[in-house]
Structure 1
Amino acid sequence: MNCNCSKRSNKLACKVIWITPTWHAEALYEQARNSMERNRYEEASNLLNQSIALFQTLDQRKRLADAYRQLGLTYRYQSRYSTALEYIYLAMQIYQELGDKSAISSTYNSIGTVMEKMGQLEEASQAHNQALQLHYELDDQQGIASALYNIGDIYRSMGDFEKALPYLQDALKMDIAAGEPKNIAYSLNKLGYMLNQMGQREQGRDYLYQALALFEDIQAPRDTDWAWSAIAQLELDDGNIDLASDIINGVISRATENNYNSLLVDAHLVAAKIAIRRKQFEQALSVIEQGIAQAIANDEVNKQATLEALRVDVLYASNAVEAAFNALKRQKALDDSILDAQRIDTIARMQAESDFVMQAQRIKLLENETALQQAVIEKEQLSLRLWVISVIAISVFVVLFIGRLNQRKLNRELSQQVQARTHELQTKNGELSKAYKRMEALSMSDKLTGINNRRFLEKYIDSDMVQTIRKYEDWQQGRTAKPKESDIAFFMFDLDNFKKINDQYGHTTGDEVLIEFVSRMKNVFRQSDYLIRWGGEEFVAVARFIDASSAPVLAQRMLHEVSAYPFDVPSSKPLSLTCSIGYCCFSGAHEQQNTSWYNSIAVADACSYIVKYSGKNGWFGIESMNQTLDLSAQVTPEKLGQWYAEEDIVVKTDFEPQQLKWSASRA
């Protein structure tokens, strides 16, 4: 309580203000948002952490989630992307529990922007599309504008400027209609930068200086320097090298002072281009090296690849052929893990969706054509019978010999027509069958649960493993610090006693249980993780880019998610279920670089059997393993038991050591 009364209380009224914990938490949150608007991220983080502590004490779930999401965004602007995702996913989990569609859609936008900065364009595109759909359902114009802006920026990142342009233009129109200066400035800045890339410099210049003025008006120093960085690139492209140099040197100085780490990478890229234009190759290499180091620290692999490509050009221009070749190899490795795996796969995914729709239309046409052909054949067969009857009738009145000739000729002609039509129908049926097979090949999702199937995993997992290996190679070769949140964990889930559910309640109930199980998986794993229907009641989850030490936490959360609450399915009474969980962690460390994803899943599967042998309703996982172990042959629970006894594997489990069983005979 604050009392503003003076000692002369008999003359002045005493004004008492009660400061409640809720009011205090809200005030901290709003101060944090204000600090974020002005790019004061450290200050915002401190305020948000204080508000989070209060919201947790007050059990205000919605406001707690809002604070988590804002804290995630502050980490995003500080280039701490993995930490940002952690808090954003905490917010998403609460929003989903509350069923808050508006907040869920906005959080998808946040997830997408972080994923895009990390170069994971496929996941970013998926998140933004989900956001767009939800915003449309809610008729949230500001949310729609944000989703359009983000989708357009992904197209721009992929170099498809023509596709990006209408998205960004529509976003700008909606931002202007809403009258939000910061969003208007963002759209103007992005459009101006892209128009310069497209060679439309005058319009680009106009947009960039409008954005700059707006950022200055709202006192957002980081965003102001972001606009200056784009203007420096434009002035360089326009031949104003000295002006561009002055601008970008100021940006680098301020970005370094204020820890604007992502902006610092972009600024070094422009500075390197300026040095190249001046033929100052040594300086260009120095600036590129600084930019690459910062990109690695930020985990911005796509920017690292861009800088490596620039280094190749500089070394080649300097006649440093061997060094250029080595830089080219590094760039190719980055392109293989990021450009092929992310940009091209994203384009392929979009094309696959279009092809899927086109294929469906072709199938409809084939079905209609097949039905028409069948009708024609039936009509001709009827005509044949009628003609035969007619010929017989006429033959009574006509000379028998002539009647017979006519009958034979007519039968022969009609039989040939029927045969031709039948052959045509068989051909169409063959085309229809092939079309269905092509449709099936295009599909990468499980029809019952809606999550992905094995075909999806086969297509996308290899690039993730290459990226993990690359990060560990950079560390082992002394280029970076030891990787954090760079491992992959493969989980195998098997519902316990599922056959009894089908036998006792029927397959409809069994299907409903599987659908509910997937819903609970989504409560534990992130949107960027892979959820796979492996077969029957077996499911695989791939937790991407985590620390291996986090795998037990995920396993325990999933175990609790399944067993803590009965499965309330429409066709049955509530069912209390458990599951057996096995997992295997993959890192890019030397001892695991020759391990395939299929080997990892085979090990996780064997781990799940150990859980079943040991009494079910638990988890058992392998955090790391000896490099000499042979994973090419079948990995059995007995073999894992042997490796465990010989200390060739590091095991984590919720069972006591004496409870573990390594074979069915000992279970």
Structure 2
Amino acid sequence: MFNFNVITGCALVYAMLLCLPIQAQGLDQPSDILLQQIAAARNKGDMSLADELAARLNQYAHQSNDLNAIADANYQLARNAMERNRYQQAQDHLNAAISAYQDLDNQNGLANAYRQLGLTYRYQANYPQALEYIYLAMQIYQQMDNKSAISSTHNSIGLVLEKLGQYEAAAQAHQKALEIHYELGDQQGIASALYNLGDLRRVMGDRELALVYFQDALKIDSVTGNLKNLAYSHHKIGYLYMVLGDFDNARLHINQALSGFKQISAPRDTDWALSSLAELEMKLGNFDLARDIIDGVILRAQTQQYNSLLADAYYVSAELAYLQDNSQTAADQIDMGLQQARANHERQKEAEFEALRVKVHVKNEAYKQAFESLQREKHISEEILNTKRIGNIANLQAQTEFIRRAQQIELLKKETALQKANIEQQNLSRNLWILAVIASFLLLFLLYSRRVQIKLNKRLGEQVEQRTQELKQKNIELQIAYQEMETISLTDQLTGIHNRRYLENQIDADLEQSLRLHQDWLAGKTDKPVHADIVVFMIDMDRFKSINDIHGHVAGDAVLIQLTQRLAQVFRQSDYLTRWGGEEFVAVARFINRDDAPVLAQRVVDHVAQTPFQLPNGAEYSTSCSVGYACYPLYADNSIAPKWNTLISIADACLYMVKSAGRNGWVGIDKVQESTVPLEVMTPEKILNWQNDKKVVLKRSFK
């Protein structure tokens, strides 16, 4: 009872302070306290209070001439404007904040402002401009090693890339964000990453899994209490229920989203939910109501330049006209929607409009035009999501499931603890109330309470034991999933050899050991090392595209598998043999003498060219390969240790020289004679110039 009174009193005092005019507070309240209050009000969706507090911070900053506070005030005013979808106003405040942060050399503030400015452009469908500012923010966060901000920025990058139809890159960005948020234990960040991954699955057509992700995000949002995030999750869940045909649940969640967006005064997000409501009414056959709603959304989106929402609204309007057998209106809406989607660079939305146009043409029996639209739709879809990208996204999916299951176990633990605490609290309150009201029956009550408590403890013990067993089983499943994920993520599915990720995880230790052996020798600590060099070979099939074009992708896959077998005959089991991508392979000969590199390169060329490849249809196909390599350590004096990416780039430049010279050969850099040679800018032309100047030792062999 005492604690309750103390808390209540503190809350009343705090509320009175907020209500006092700013002059009464003397303008001496620290700006960081106001910043915390603004963020808390915005998180709860109380935008009126958030605006009032931001205005106070702005007034305090200018009266005290505190430049940091002025920059922070502009940033907070921008964040509030973004919550209300006032993007131009937000951009004005952010540009003012950026200018101030630059003058103050406040890198963290500058990065935050860059990221938010990028997000304003994202909401206006100016995706190239959005990426530019978000990447600027990422660069600063990485320099500061701010993991929380890095993970949030990965989410922002993924959102823009998804709109551009770059699903593989978007999945990688969201997965990275999820991994970092999970490592940091950031519940709100985990919810955002799951939400974004769910939206990606929705766009790719996996609606059931997307619904699971959105529901997981909603559970976490319900705990953190962020009203905007809750509204977003409700909206996506409602939309998916609608697509899956569960219209009652769809209406429930869409209305909850509408209520949340209205509470935080976000007109663009409100219209976004209204467009889903219009689509729901359309599916229920309420065409007139759907038309009234969507026409209003289109008008406001045009006026406010909500360009991405406008493309979505045109689609709903076109589909509604199609269902009402108004083909001309449907065609007109599709044309306007396609024009808007192209202006937005939204390739997936273009494909959706082309698919809808096919239905309109078929209804009008214009089959030629329908076929042409179908071809355009298939071309865009293949461009966005080909087989290779689907495979890469599937690999990322295994990692997502691993973290999601672990998060579910954590939530289960917290729910168990919370339930037990609530039961104990309820028992305590009940006992105190009965003691106060029925004092005369104290002894009887205590005996009865004791009996109830024994039964309750027994039941709780059984529940805890049951949950413990469930957690043990889930941990076993989690370990199995983790092992499966490791195998999937480090192995190329076609050839069975390791992939690029595996090599990048292993190579740094070998490079460090090789460099240390050479440095110890140069320092006089050891004899000249033997078998201490690393040689990186970049191997590429010549004219591989013609195999796929003439004989099909199945034949191409068969050739790649046979190439893997031949490369395994050249390199040792202790060497690294990986598929780098497509028809490119990278082999790393570990701890050899670099004098053996030309011999290995020639053996690779001979093994490919001398024996025809067997195709699945029984035919034979003869081809060749090109090889570029780089030796490590590269500099003759070992004064500089180039990074792995630089080493790969050098081998790739050598490979390009072979391709330019007619293919079917090899080129390699044995060593760099002068430490002034900048490896990071090495190109085939510069390699030849440096060789002529005797700055590099180049070896080569062409057919």
Aligned position for 2:496:
441
Counterparts in 2 of 1:192-341, with a 5 A limit?
192-340=238-386
Q: 1:509 and 1:101 mapped to 2: Cα distance?
A: 37
Stretch moving more, 55-64 or 235-244: 55-64
CA–CA distance in 2 between the matches of 1:599 and 1:308?
40
Q: In structure 1, what is the Cα distance between the partners aligned to 2:530 and 2:336?
A: 61
State whether residues 84 and 265 of structure 2, in contact with CA within 8 Å, keep that contact through their aligned partners in structure 1: yes
Q: 1:619, CA displacement in angstroms?
A: 6.5
Contact persistence 1:171–1:187 (CA under 8 A): yes
Question: In 1, Cα distance between the equivalents of 2:257 and 2:101?
Answer: 36
Deviations 1:405-443 (A, max 9, x none): xxxxxxxxxxxxxxxxxxxxxxxxxxxxxx999797264
Q: 2:496 is matched by which residue type in structure 1? A: A
1:75 counterpart letter in structure 2: Y
2:232 matches 1:171: no
Does residue 31 of structure 1 match 2:67?
no
Return the alpha-carbon distance in structure 2 between the equivalents of residues 343 and 258 of structure 1: 36
- Give the counterpart letter for 1:109 in structure 2: N
580 and 174 in structure 1: CA distance in 2 versus 1, 3 angstrom threshold: closer
Question: SS in structure 2 opposite 1:306?
Answer: helix
Residue 616 of structure 1, aligned match among 671, 677, 684: 677
Partner of 2:103: 57
1:450 aligns with 2:509: no
Distance 1:344 1:137, change over 3 A: closer
Question: Does 1:103 pair with 2:134?
Answer: no
Partners of 1:660 and 1:334 lie apart in 2 by: 50
Number of aligned residue pairs: give it: 442
How far has the Cα of 1:120 moved from its partner?
Answer: 1.8
Q: What amino acid is the match of 1:82?
A: P
Change (3 A) 1:99 1:202: same
**Residue 235 of structure 2: aligned partner:** 189
Letter in 2 for 1:118: L
8 Å CA contact 1:580–1:617 kept in 2: the answer is: no
Bigger drift between 114-123 and 192-201 goes to 114-123
The answer as to whether partners of 1:29 and 1:67 remain within 8 angstroms in 2 is: yes
Q: Tell me the CA shift for residue 241 of structure 1.
A: 0.7
The equivalent residue for 1:83 is: 129
Letter in 1 for 2:114: Y
- Is contact 1:607–1:621 with CA below 8 Å preserved after alignment? no
1:616 maps to a residue whose letter is V
Contact 1:229-1:267 at 8 Å conserved across structures: yes
Aligned to 1:67: 113
Q: Is the 8 A contact 1:581 1:607 kept in 2?
A: no
Measured at CA, do residues 188 and 661 of structure 1 come closer, stay the same or move farther in structure 2, by a change above 3 Å? same
**Normalising to structure 1: TM-score of the pair?**
0.58
Aligned mates of 1:25, 1:354 — CA distance in 2: 38
Quote the offset at 1:345 in angstroms. Answer: 3.5
CA RMSD of aligned residues (A): 4.7
Deviation at 1:233, TM superposition (A): 0.6
Give the aligned residue type for 2:291. S
Alpha-carbon distance, 1:40 to partner: 0.9
- Report if the CA contact (8 A) 1:121-1:342 is conserved: no
Which of residues 187, 190, 195 is equivalent to 1:144?
Answer: 190
- Does structure 2 conserve the Cα–Cα contact (< 8 Å) formed by 1:581 and 1:620? no
CA change 1:503–1:293 in 2 (3 A) is same
Question: Alpha-carbon deviation of 1:231?
Answer: 0.4
- Say if 1:207 and 1:581 are closer, same or farther in 2 by CA, change over 3 A: closer
2:243 aligned partner, one-letter code: Q
Tell me if structure 2 keeps the 8 A contact 1:122–1:342: no
Using structure 2 for the length normalisation, give the TM-score.
Answer: 0.55
Give percent identity, aligned residues only.
44
1:339 CA displacement: 3.2
AA aligned to 2:230 is I
In structure 1, the residue matched to 2:391 is: 345
Gaps of 5+ in 2: 1-22, 24-59, 403-489, 521-528, 537-580, 590-632
Q: Give the secondary structure class of the aligned counterpart of 1:17.
A: helix
Q: Post-superposition shift, 1:178? A: 1.6
Q: Give the aligned partner of residue 156 of structure 1.
A: 202
Q: CA deviation at 1:102?
A: 1.3
- Contact 1:309–1:331, Cα closer than 8 Å, also in 2: yes
CA contact (8 A) 1:39 1:221 kept: yes
3-state secondary structure, aligned to 2:68: helix
Picking from 98, 103, 119, the partner of 2:165 is: 119
- Counterpart CA distance in 1 for 2:89 and 2:667 is 46
Gaps of 5+ in 1: 5-14, 357-434, 453-494, 514-528, 538-566, 586-597, 623-635, 642-654
Distance in 2 (alpha carbons) for counterparts of 1:232 and 1:259: 20
Task: Name which of 82, 87, 95 aligns with 1:41.
Answer: 87
Change (3 A) 1:353 1:191: closer
Q: Is the 8 A contact 2:167 2:384 kept in 1?
A: no
Q: Provide Cα deviations, 1:351-385, integer angstroms capped at 9, x if missing partner.
A: 787999xxxxxxxxxxxxxxxxxxxxxxxxxxxxx
> Aligned partner of 2:234: which letter?
L
The AA in structure 2 aligned to 1:237 is: K
Counterpart Cα distance in 2 of 1:437 and 1:349: 10
| Whole-angstrom CA distance in 2 between matches of 1:226 and 1:233 | 11
Look up the SS of the partner of 1:135 in the other structure.
helix
**Which position in structure 1 is the counterpart of 2:610?**
none
Which residue number in structure 2 is paired with residue 418 of structure 1? none
CA deviation profile, 1:127-159 (whole Å, cap 9, x unmatched): 222212221222211111111211221222222
